[in-house]
Structure 1
Amino acid sequence: MKRQSRHRARLSLPAALCARVDEQAHAARAMWNLLHAWWQMMPKEKRTLANADAAIRQARKDIDFLGALPAQAAQAVLKTYFQAWKNCWEGRADAPKFKTRLRTVMAVDVPQGQHLNIVRVHRRWGMVNLPKVGRVRFRWTKELPVGRRANRDNRITGARLVKDDLGWHISFRVQTHETEPEAHQGPEVGIDVGIAVPLALSDGGKFEHGAWLTDREQSKLLRLERRSAALQQHRKRGGKASKRLQYVYDQIARLRAKAKRRRQDWQHKTTTTIARTYGTVVVEALQITNMAKSAKGTIDRPGKNVAQKAGLNRSIHSEAWGRMVDMLGYKLAQHGGTLVKVPAPGTSQRCSMCGVTTPGSRESQAVFVCKNPDCGWSGNADHNAGRNVLHLYRIGLVAIPAAGRRSRQARERVQPATVR
């Protein structure tokens, strides 16, 4: 089977080349805005791909700074814009909008993979050819199908340049031909996600992590946030930020981007370990948007414990449970495993031994003591929730169709309740 994947690597760009790539990204954003303006002005019968192509070709001749964008990258902007409208008409996304300068991610497409000419020059570095930029270095962290390894089935079909707060990165689009994996023979496991214990497994295992920033980095972040608050007092309402304030903003953004990169690294390593170990992974179908709603309330009915709820919401977003589940889905599919989602309500309050929910059974964040007089079981609260999650799958209460090679078998599987 053919598999489409992406591999992101950090670029090493000198200041001059970095400014050149910045020009291309701004030109790509301007091209999108011009296409959107053209779309709104033209009547419906003239909104065709051919007319739009002629319009952007003429714009590249009339507007000088659009010439910084390679012709193939301009065609990629055109195709992306029309695909955005198609997604809107089919109900998968909202209508396209103008892209602002400050809130838009700077990116440039390189649609032709054969023009990249990727070569590995060092154990840690490789070279890639970028249109209108030249040969640049990128961090080599994964084997790529280049040189003798490249063929019709295994090759790089394109790339995309993306800029974040840590600099420019290149995301390669990799196409590989792989044999369909056999069914994973590993055991079943239920996973309960949380704040104190990020991942608690039904078999008693758990995956934890420390703070994403060191003590020194956290102190620096706090100092920068206080500095930005002091500088904002001298900023006029609605006015532009000063260069000093913008420099502080950039430092804060770099620290937060560093924490995000470390979190993603931990998630990738953890999900890979789980996918290799277990054949069926059961998780809760969490409504994260509803869980992270603000507690401010309204003027008539103000909320309670607003500051505490705001801190909890930040912790929920910091754990990125949705991204974790997505990683588990595609990695389990690669290893022949199955990802199943079950209803979330009641898994933390129900006793995994007797199946009865009694008020006050969860005495603390870490301790669960069943208040049922006929049971009285006690144990770790997070592992108890993981056992309940697995039990819901075993009795057939699947909330969302499973993802993976054996998804159909997992949806159809219904077993009687058993004592675990």
Structure 2
Amino acid sequence: MTTNGNTTTIVVREPLDPTPEQVLVLKRYANASRACFNFAYGLKHEAQQRWVRGRDRLMLEGLSREEANREAPKVSVPRASDVQRIFLAVREKPLAGPLREGESEHRRMFRWWAGVNAIVCQQAFRDADTAFANWRGSARRAGEGVGYPRPKRVGRCRDSFRMTSVRLVASDLRHVRIGGERDPAGQRALIVRLHRPARRLAREIARGGVVKMVTVAREGSQWWVSFNVRIALPPPARLSRRQKEAGTVGVDLGIAVFAATSEPVITADGKEQLFDNPRHLDNARRQLRKWQRRMARRHVKGLPAHRQSAGWREARDQVAHLMGLVAQRRASTQHLLSKQLVTQFAHVALEDLRVKNMTRTARGTVEAPGRNVAAKAGLNRAILDVGFAEIRRQVEYKAKWHGVTVTAVNPAYTSQTCHRCGHVDRKSRRTRSLFQCTRCGHATHADIGAAHNIKHRALNLEANEPQ
């Protein structure tokens, strides 16, 4: 959700149920979007390299890197409009060189654009602009830097494309219309069935929402359509009586226990403070290993994906299907927990975790190899499977809808501190689940005790904030 002035943009996501013939068209659109992005990337990368060569010449003349950056000759990097103009000029050009055997005329250099809606290419050019702008701007803002953009590779990037000419067929709310080409020889518009009625999208449009952009993407074996809907900014949310009475809740995220809360959370099974980790990835590991091994055995080194055997493509599709299921189940668990927290409490306290640092590899280098690399890799997979950062992101944006305050606190020693007397001692953590203070003797579940410490730190931060 993004806010701009008096309006806000929400995303409504619906699963598609295309026919096999329609899947081929969606793949063709996605491939065209990827190729257009790479076309723009090539032009921008070449301009960037010209600037780098000019800077390096100045450094060879004795200038420092900072001075060379300032004095390097300016290079014009083509923007989306420039890329489109260049593309329109060269897309009909034939391939250079002699004709192939059996060919009467040269094939065109860029055959993939024919019949594809022009908006798909235009949006891909704009995506390339955004990628380079994010890279340049990351050095001037706080937080983690953004790496240099990379071209999109088949099998390594998500199959997706963006369009504006996608709309809901309002007669039954079970179909969407994906725009085609005006040229009679091009791709005609598609009417694609949805898995379920798009009632939420229809409600937002009926309230005055305007669909600004639509993304069609494949996740695993499932195609999805995501509508960016601009709506009027709702009035500030007011806390309910139940939220005010519940007050603050501290949440400790973990591996053995998915989440532990300082206060009971009302669920379908009653009141709970400890949420078991569903371990979605581990539950699918057996089937994943089976198909990944088949995929590895059937792979022919040196051949591109479209020339691999049908058996390899079958194994690849099964792996994608399983990974898609894991992602959907993980998202369902995360959304359920985050919604329960923001609808039942007025203040949610979380740990300010640095997940990127927590999941760094222990492999080391050739000169200084790491230890317990396999165990650390398993821990990293488990952390990423829970999705600490994603849960925090969901809690933060949903909190705005319900008027809830979210506080992120320092996670240091939360599991080694007694929330009764404040004594810090790692020996108080007797086992993974048992905490017994070495000073006052207070005993509790270690994760629940950590959740209480998170809650107390959040309340202290709130009390010490200047009014």
TM-score bucket (shorter structure): 0.7 to 0.9
When residues 321 and 359 of structure 1 are mapped into structure 2, their CA distance, relative to the original with a 3 A threshold, is closer
Q: When the two structures are superposed, what TM-score results if normalisation uses the length of structure 2?
A: 0.76
What is the CA–CA distance in structure 1 between the aligned matches of 2:357 and 2:43, rounded to whole Å?
Answer: 38
Aligned to 1:377: 442
What is the CA–CA distance in structure 2 between the aligned matches of 1:45 and 1:195, rounded to whole Å?
Answer: 50
Aligned to 2:179: 130
323-332 vs 18-27, which moves further: 18-27
Aligned residues: 391
Q: In the alignment, is the contact (CA less than 8 A) between 1:282 and 1:339 conserved in 2?
A: yes
192-201 vs 290-299, which moves further: 290-299
Counterpart secondary structure, 1:100: coil
Aligned to 1:165: 220
- What is the CA RMSD across the aligned residues, in angstroms? 2.8
Aligned to 1:267: 334
Q: In the alignment, is the contact (CA less than 8 A) between 1:24 and 1:68 conserved in 2?
A: no
Mapping of residues 243-262 of structure 1, within 5 Å? 243-262=310-329
When residues 277 and 414 of structure 1 are mapped into structure 2, their CA distance, relative to the original with a 3 A threshold, is farther
1:195 counterpart = 2:255: yes
When residues 361 and 117 of structure 1 are mapped into structure 2, their CA distance, relative to the original with a 3 A threshold, is closer
Q: In the alignment, is the contact (CA less than 8 A) between 2:12 and 2:201 conserved in 1?
A: no
Counterpart secondary structure, 1:202: strand
State the Cα distance separating 1:258 from its structure 2 match.
0.6
379-388 vs 239-248, which moves further: 239-248
Ranges in structure 1 where 5+ consecutive residues have no aligned partner: 397-409, 416-420
Letter of the 1:56 partner, please give it.
F
Counterpart secondary structure, 2:444: strand
Counterpart secondary structure, 2:257: coil
1:15 counterpart = 2:20: yes
State the Cα distance separating 1:100 from its structure 2 match.
1.4
What is the CA–CA distance in structure 2 between the aligned matches of 1:195 and 1:227, rounded to whole Å?
Answer: 30
When residues 128 and 236 of structure 1 are mapped into structure 2, their CA distance, relative to the original with a 3 A threshold, is closer
State the Cα distance separating 1:218 from its structure 2 match.
5.5
Q: In the alignment, is the contact (CA less than 8 A) between 1:190 and 1:387 conserved in 2?
A: yes
Residue identity over aligned pairs, in percent, reads: 24
When residues 84 and 305 of structure 1 are mapped into structure 2, their CA distance, relative to the original with a 3 A threshold, is closer
Ranges in structure 2 where 5+ consecutive residues have no aligned partner: 1-5, 51-74, 94-109, 139-144, 181-187, 265-272
State the Cα distance separating 1:390 from its structure 2 match.
1.0
Q: In the alignment, is the contact (CA less than 8 A) between 1:128 and 1:138 conserved in 2?
A: no
Deviation string for 1:156-186 (max 9, x for gaps)?
2221111121232111112222222125653
Aligned to 2:170: 119
Deviation string for 1:279-302 (max 9, x for gaps)?
111111111122222233344544
What is the CA–CA distance in structure 1 between the aligned matches of 2:428 and 2:412, rounded to whole Å?
Answer: 15
Counterpart secondary structure, 1:339: strand
What is the CA–CA distance in structure 2 between the aligned matches of 1:171 and 1:348, rounded to whole Å?
Answer: 40
What is the CA–CA distance in structure 1 between the aligned matches of 2:353 and 2:363, rounded to whole Å?
Answer: 22
Deviation string for 1:59-82 (max 9, x for gaps)?
454434212321122221222222
Aligned to 2:269: none
Q: In the alignment, is the contact (CA less than 8 A) between 1:23 and 1:68 conserved in 2?
A: no
What is the CA–CA distance in structure 1 between the aligned matches of 2:224 and 2:204, rounded to whole Å?
Answer: 25
Aligned to 1:404: none
Aligned to 1:413: 465
When residues 359 and 105 of structure 1 are mapped into structure 2, their CA distance, relative to the original with a 3 A threshold, is closer
Aligned to 1:109: 162
When residues 380 and 414 of structure 1 are mapped into structure 2, their CA distance, relative to the original with a 3 A threshold, is farther
When residues 89 and 76 of structure 1 are mapped into structure 2, their CA distance, relative to the original with a 3 A threshold, is same
Moved segments of 4+, more than 6 Å? none
Q: In the alignment, is the contact (CA less than 8 A) between 1:145 and 1:155 conserved in 2?
A: no
Letter of the 2:248 partner, please give it.
E
State the Cα distance separating 1:120 from its structure 2 match.
5.1
State the Cα distance separating 1:45 from its structure 2 match.
3.7
State the Cα distance separating 1:30 from its structure 2 match.
1.1
Letter of the 1:93 partner, please give it.
V
Max Rg structure? 2
1:181 counterpart = 2:247: no
What is the CA–CA distance in structure 2 between the aligned matches of 1:157 and 1:49, rounded to whole Å?
Answer: 19
Letter of the 2:321 partner, please give it.
R
State the Cα distance separating 1:244 from its structure 2 match.
2.2
Mapping of residues 12-411 of structure 1, within 5 Å? 12-41=17-46, 44-45=75-76, 47-62=78-93, 63-91=110-138, 93-112=146-165, 116-119=167-170, 121=172, 125-131=174-180, 132-140=188-196, 143-146=199-202, 149-150=205-206, 153-177=208-232, 178-183=234-239, 185-186=243-244, 187-204=247-264, 205-212=273-280, 219-228=286-295, 231=297, 242-372=309-439, 375-396=440-461, 410=462
What is the CA–CA distance in structure 2 between the aligned matches of 1:248 and 1:145, rounded to whole Å?
Answer: 35
